[in-house]
Structure 1
Amino acid sequence: MSEYQDLAQHIEMLAKADDDQQQISLLSELVENVLDSGSVALILEAFPVEQRVRMWRSLPLEMHIDVLTEMRADVRISVIKSLSEIELKLTLAKLDNLSLIEWEDSLPDEIVTEALRLISRDELELYDQANEFADDEIGHWADRKVYTLPFSITVARAKMLLEKYHYESPQYIYLINKKKKLIGVVAYSDILLAETTERVKTLVLEDITLINAHLTLSEGVEMLEHATLPMVPVVNNDGTLVGIINWQFALGTQREIYEARLMAGTGMDEGDDLFAPIVRSSKRRGVWLGINLVTAILASITIGMFENVISEVVALAVLMPIVASMGGIAGSQTLTLMVRAMALNQITVGNRLALLKNEIGIGSINGLLWALIIGAIAALWFQSPLIGGTIALAIVVNIVTAAFFGVLIPIILDKFELDPALAGSVILTTVTDVVGFFAFLGTASLVML
């Protein structure tokens, strides 16, 4: 059984609890025996705000921050806004630098200011170091709590320092010089097994991937994908050790990118709450509905231009959805391919023309193939070769147009620093609808009236 199936069962069990006390008791049992912070966050997101807050309060204190950090932004805010002033201060005081970095974009300024006042001095210093980098740079998100040792010491000295500072069996130790430049990475187990007279620098692992702190998040995550270690050092331009990123961070970032693009297609945000307030959600979704209304009106105007031919040949009204649908699907295929390639930085000035030619070639072949099939079906259906030929022509034109604009639209949007995943599908659908209807109805008006 998959993890998500298990979570569904846990949610169902909690939802069926006889009362609040039994619900909290069941959750406590799950937390003690089964669930980690990420799973608890997903479960709490599945309940209305009042129950969510009550269950969060029942969690062990050491889980409070981790669970809130794992939550989507809107869900986290729903919990924070439900806390009393004292509860909020106690919660903010427990924040570490990485959690505050994760939270700050979604919190009101006054709460961020209060958090900065309450967190420990060490965490505040690490937070300030993170803000030396832009939000979209990997250095901003690196975990700065890493285990370091001078590179020139012996194994005996290393063991003594590890014991003195109570290092809790880290997986890797990062060797640095006096200027904090990274010299190499050593496995903790290798230090434990090495001769005490040996120098730790002789234990350095080979072929270690280093990530420049100024790379973008997506670039950094992509480099981690090809790394040999589960956690990779992040260094500044001069080789200074900034921190590390690990597989957990990479997977979380990739999930957020995927969810953001999935939700963006409908004008929503990946941080949206399942139980967000009705009025606020209505406003958010209403804006997108308004945008779609404008595009639908453009398509309707195009249809209205050929009202006379539609009234004379009713079959055209029956076949119009086929033209729009074929163009829409063909366009979405190209657009999806482009958005993925752009996310992986595979689209360059040098390969755009070749890609455009390739997509138009694919569109031409598919357009001709499906034009013949749909044209034959329409001709037999309505006993009219003219109708068959008209829709066949429209299908070819619309699928080739969809391929052309499926490549062009995301490139143009990216040029204007707009997200192709958010606006691309709406623009492309409008283009294919208008072009498809115009080609279909325009041709019909010439040959049938």
Structure 2
Amino acid sequence: MAEHIEFDQAHLTLQEVTEALENGRFVHVRRQLQDMEPEDIAHLLEASPRKSREVLWQLTDPEDYGEILDELSEDVKDALVSKMAPERLAEATEGMDTDDVAYVLRSLPDDLSREILSQMDTIDRLRVEMALSYPEDTAGGLMNTDFVTIRGDVDVDVVLRYLRMKGELPQATDALYVIDEDSKLIGHLSLTSLLTSQPDSRICDIMEDADEAIQVDAKDSDVASLFERRNWISAPVVNAEQHLLGRITIDDVVDVIREDAEHSMMSLAGMDDEEDTFAPVMKSARKRSIWLGANVLAALAAASVSNMFEATLDQMAAIAVLMTIVPSMGGVAGNQTIALVIRGLALGHIGDSNKRELLLKEAAVGLLNGCLWALLIGGIVVLWKGNWLLGGIISAAMLTNLTVAGIAGVTIPVLLKKMKIDPALAGGMALTTVTDVIGLFVFLGLATIFIA
């Protein structure tokens, strides 16, 4: 209910802002933007047409630019950043976490990124350059360098006085990291333990071992799985020598999960998950035409099978009427399997040790559903067309295609992943091609043998 109200308020704000811009009430819009959180302004920019978006950006407080840019999709961010001066961009990154600055700079042209880095102070620049040195989809690309370290040979009272002197803790701080003289991580101390321990307790006696640190080259999907399984709020990042490099916080992991979900959803339609909703027509058409071209090739493959049996189709109109049923059912069944497998691959539930068992299970599911729907559809065809032979042919084709769909639904995404191709992007189209070709070939082939 609360979520529904929040979306209603967002749409109401968008409508109010749009009407105010159309009526030239720019001062009113500026005041509205000043009362909004950066995340809400980012949502408003994403939902606004390009012309309105540019005006809104000009009316936004520059102090919020950094946090807003961090929330925007790549296409929208690029469009806004391209019209900003490098010194203004450098100002926008002030106060942002290191990982967020690196995320923004990665989406910019190299020369512009270098110019922005040159505008930063030395410490911030070195931190950002270190973050940029790691691939974006690794723990190193996710981590930020804002954390608190302490030594194990001091007592609780010393640490508490140090924290009071420090004043402000980094965002989402739930633990302090204990390091030795070589900056190697030896443990961590939760704030709860710190506050509830005796003032004279030694840190080394109450800390927890650093056996759950994340390696800097770990994949972001593996990091997300660890956070999900262990309910972490933050986690330290170390290199192979156990040197503490940074930490990852839950907000970064939520971004990874959301981006993976958006990528999977958009990839099923061959879409770029970062595409701007209000992108220029030519840009959107160019991006989508590539996928449409690939789909044409798949459709031509199915059409060529139909063409092989043209004489059969000419002899009996009922075959032409019924021939779409078999590939359609195979496509639906296969997509159910492929969705399950893609999710399993993403979560790390499927590996070499259990692929064979999964393949046999999905083949059995396809066979069982094939028997059920073969009997049902075959019976309908007999009652409808009064032809027992035609009913038997479509039943056999249905049984075959649903079994093949179950097998293909497992093998296609697994093979694509081995070939370093995103299963979410190419799996659906490849599966549909297989079920269309097999379904038509079996149905029309049997019809040619037994009827034509």
| TM-score, length basis structure 1 | 0.92
Unaligned runs of 5+ in 1: none
CA–CA distance in structure 2, aligned partners of residues 405 and 431 of structure 1: 8
Which residue in 2 is equivalent to 1:12?
12
Matched, 1:220 2:214: no
CA distance in 1, matches of 2:346, 2:222: 9
Structure 1 residues 376-424: Cα deviation after superposition (integer angstroms, max 9, x where no partner): 0111111111221111111111111111111111122122111111111
Offset of residue 63 of structure 1: 1.9
Q: Which amino acid aligns with 2:112?
A: I
Match of 1:59 in 2: 60
- 1:325-344 alignment to 2 at 5 Å? 325-344=328-347
Mapped partners of 2:30, 2:308: distance in 1:
62
Identity in percent: 31
Query: Mapping of 1:11-410 within 5 angstroms?
Result: 11-17=11-17, 18-20=19-21, 22=25, 25=28, 28-29=31-32, 32=35, 35-83=36-84, 87-88=88-89, 90-91=91-92, 97-168=98-169, 170-188=173-191, 190-192=193-195, 194-205=197-208, 209-410=212-413
Measured in 1, the distance between the counterparts of 2:333 and 2:30 equals: 47
Q: Distance in 2 between matches of 1:441 and 1:303?
A: 8
Q: C-alpha offsets along residues 267-295 of structure 1, whole Å, 9 cap, x if unaligned?
A: 21111100111111100001111110111
Tell me how far apart the structure 1 counterparts of residues 231 and 417 of structure 2 sit (CA, whole Å).
33
Tell me, in whole angstroms, the C-alpha distance in 2 between the residues paired with 1:225 and 1:175. 24
Separation (CA, whole Å) in 2 of partners of 1:108 and 1:254 = 26
Q: CA contact under 8 A between 1:147 and 1:173: conserved in structure 2?
A: yes
Question: Deviations 1:209-263 (Å, cap 9, x if unpaired)?
Answer: 4322221111111111122542122222222222222222212101101111111
Question: Is the 8 Å Cα contact of residues 93 and 120 (structure 1) preserved in structure 2?
Answer: no
CA distance in 2: counterparts of 1:203 and 1:287, whole angstroms: 59
Distance change in 2, residues 1:19/1:117 (3 Å): same
Tell me if structure 2 keeps the 8 A contact 1:7–1:39: no
Indicate how the Cα distance of structure 1 residues 145 and 207 shifts in structure 2: closer, same or farther if over 3 A, else same: closer
- Conservation of the 8 A alpha-carbon contact between 2:185 and 2:210: no
| Partners of 1:37 and 1:67 within 8 A in 2 | yes
Give 1:158 deviation, angstroms.
Answer: 1.7
Q: Deviations over 1:198-219 (max 9, x none)?
A: 3233342579743222211111
Please give the alpha-carbon distance, in whole angstroms, between the structure 2 residues aligned to 1:303 and 1:59: 59
Distance 1:92 1:350, change over 3 A: closer
Q: Is the 8 A contact 1:208 1:229 kept in 2?
A: no
Equivalent residues of 1:97, 1:124 under 8 A apart: no
From 418, 437, 440, the equivalent of 1:437 is: 440
Counterpart Cα distance in 1 of 2:203 and 2:31: 45
Specify every segment of 5 or more residues in structure 2 that has no aligned partner in the other structure, as ranges.
none
The aligned length equals 447
- Separation in structure 2 between the aligned mates of residue 98 and residue 278 of structure 1, nearest angstrom: 33
Q: Secondary structure at the match of 1:226?
A: helix
Q: Match for 1:155: what amino acid? A: V
Shift of 1:331: 0.8
Q: Is the 8 A contact 2:334 2:406 kept in 1?
A: yes
Secondary structure of the structure 2 residue equivalent to 1:19: helix
SS at match of 2:273: coil
CA–CA distance in 2 between the matches of 1:152 and 1:237?
24
Q: 1:4 to 1:110 in 2, by over 3 A?
A: farther
Contact 1:176–1:183, Cα closer than 8 Å, also in 2 = yes
Which 4+ stretches in 1 moved above 6 angstroms? none
SS in 2 for 1:149: strand
TM score, norm. by length of structure 2: 0.91
The yes-or-no answer on 1:420 pairing with 2:423 is yes
The residue type equivalent to 1:64 in the other structure is: Y
**Structure 2 Cα separation of the partners of residues 403 and 59 of structure 1:** 53
Verify the 8 A CA contact 2:186 2:210 in the aligned structure 1.
no
- Report the counterpart of residue 3 of structure 2 in structure 1: 3
Contact persistence 1:171–1:188 (CA under 8 A): yes
Preserved CA contact (<8 Å) 1:92 1:118: no
In 2, Cα distance between equivalents of 1:4 and 1:251? 21
Q: Deviations over 1:171-214 (max 9, x none)?
A: 42222111112232223354455443332333425797432222
Q: CA RMSD in A?
A: 2.4
More deviation, 100-109/256-265? 100-109
1:275-324 deviations in Å (ceiling 9; x for gaps): 11111110000111111011111111111111222122112222122111
Query: In the superposition, relative to structure 1, how do residues 24 and 428 fare at CA in structure 2: closer, same or farther (>3 Å)?
Result: farther
For residues 277 and 178 of structure 1, do their structure 2 counterparts lie closer, same or farther at Cα, with a shift above 3 Å needed? same
Matched AA of 2:7: L
* Structure 1 residue identity aligned to 2:3: E
> How far is the alpha carbon of 1:154 from its aligned partner?
2.1
CA distance in structure 2 between the aligned counterparts of 1:176 and 1:372, rounded to whole angstroms: 69
1:342 shift after superposition: 1.2
Residues 168, 313 of structure 1: CA spacing in aligned structure 2 closer, same or farther, 3 A cutoff? same
Q: CA deviation at 1:114?
A: 1.6
Give the 3-state SS of the residue equivalent to 1:424 in structure 2: helix
Distance 1:377 1:144 in 2: 66
Q: Which moved more, 1:338-347 or 1:288-297?
A: 338-347
Cα deviation, 1:47-100, whole Å, max 9, x if unaligned, reads 012222322333333321111111111111111123356644544667653223
Give the 3 Å change call, closer, same or farther, for CA 89–250 of structure 1 in structure 2. Answer: closer
Contact 2:63 2:92 in 1 (8 A): no
Residues 96 and 249 of structure 1: is their aligned pair in 2 closer, same or farther, counting only changes over 3 Å?
A: closer
